[in-house]
């Protein structure tokens, strides 16, 4: 058996494991039900990765990546997901990559880091380049996590501790780039015990053709791959269900506490 065949079987359910096949007395949850459970707002967070002006903005350091992110609609879908998260009580974290003007503490141990130093637009702390790019909204309750080093928005940052303190067990990962930071974030999240969800139409990389191949052959092995529309729909459905349940509990007195007639 080749490695490709083995990996294909890992992400393709066999007939015996199909959601329509009963297992014992009860059928397993369908993919939709599983996604709904993963995306319950009270245990879920949305991470936007490097959606900053100096990366995906019109005058950013990486014009090819910025063009793909905008023309593919990925950046717009990130914005839609952030809005949906705000509407349904899902915690939003914005991961920003930046560096000091003197470069202190930054990495120099890979070609990518050395290339960044030569770019005309630098991601300097406090500059417009490290502000969240339009049209992605930022609310007062959002958390902005900034890093001065490394490739991942999770490893070596506050993201893990913040998620644990918030009680989050599922992380929805969006943004750029599908070449480096997105897969790094997915792997880190899974290694730390989180369930990773990737809306494949809300991430971008270069060339544009690379992203779907990377999602299919790499991220699908370790994350739940879906769409931005599906994620937002799950949030709205579970948020409404939870709201109705809480309202019912709050306004319906028990018999033992009801006043005597």
The domain that holds 184 is classified in CATH as 3.40.50.850
Is residue 251 domain-resident? no
Is residue 67 domain-resident? yes
Residue numbers of the domain that contains 177? 31-244
Encode the chain (261 residues) as per-residue pLDDT tens digits. 555 555 655 555 444 344 444 445 666 778 789 999 999 999 999 999 999 999 999 988 999 999 999 999 999 999 999 999 999 999 999 999 999 999 999 988 899 888 888 888 889 999 999 999 999 999 999 999 999 999 999 999 999 999 999 999 999 999 999 999 999 999 999 999 999 999 999 999 999 999 999 999 999 999 999 999 999 999 999 886 555 555 444 433 333 344 443
Number of domains in the chain: 1
Is residue 41 domain-resident? yes
Is residue 252 domain-resident? no
Is residue 117 domain-resident? yes
SS3 assignment for the chain = CCHHHHHHHHHCCCHHHCCCCCECCECCCCHHHHHHHHCCHHHEEEEEECCEHHHHCCCCCCHHHHHHHHHCCHHHHHHHHHHHHHHHCCEEEEEEECECCCCCCCCCCCHHHHHHCCCCCCCECCCHHHCECCCCCCCCCCEEEEECCCCCCCCCCCHHHHHHHHCCCEEEEEEECCCCHHHHHHHHHHHCCCEEEEEHHHEECCCCCHHHHHHHHCHHHCCEEECHHHHHHHHHHHHHHHHHHHHHHHHCCCHHHCCCC
Is residue 256 domain-resident? no
Is residue 240 domain-resident? yes
């Amino acid at each position: 058996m080749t490695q490709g065949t083995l990996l294909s079987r890992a992400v393709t359910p066999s007939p015996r494991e199909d959601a329509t096949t009963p297992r014992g007395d009860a059928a397993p949850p369908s993919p939709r039900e599983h996604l709904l459970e993963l995306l319950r707002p009270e245990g879920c967070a949305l991470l936007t990765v490097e959606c900053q002006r100096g990366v995906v903005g019109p005058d950013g350091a990486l014009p090819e990546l910025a063009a793909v992110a905008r023309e593919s609609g990925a950046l717009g879908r990130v914005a839609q997901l952030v809005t949906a998260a705000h509407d349904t009580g899902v915690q939003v974290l914005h991961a920003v990559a930046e560096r000091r003007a003197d470069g202190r503490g930054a990495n120099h141990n890979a070609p990518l880091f050395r290339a960044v130093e030569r770019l005309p637009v630098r991601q300097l702390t406090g500059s417009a380049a490290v502000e969240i790019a339009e049209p992605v909204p930022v609310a007062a309750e959002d958390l902005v996590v900034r890093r001065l080093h490394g490739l991942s928005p999770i490893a070596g940052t506050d993201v893990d501790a913040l998620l644990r303190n918030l009680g989050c067990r599922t992380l929805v990962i969006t943004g750029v780039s599908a070449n480096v930071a997105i897969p790094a974030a997915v792997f880190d999240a899974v290694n730390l015990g989180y369930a990773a969800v990737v809306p494949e139409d809300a991430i971008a990389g270069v060339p544009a053709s690379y992203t779907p191949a990377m999602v299919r052959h790499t991220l699908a092995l370790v994350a739940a791959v879906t769409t931005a529309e599906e994620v937002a729909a799950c949030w709205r459905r579970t948020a409404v269900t939870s709201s109705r349940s809480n309202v019912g509990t709050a306004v319906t007195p028990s018999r033992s506490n009801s006043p005597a007639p």
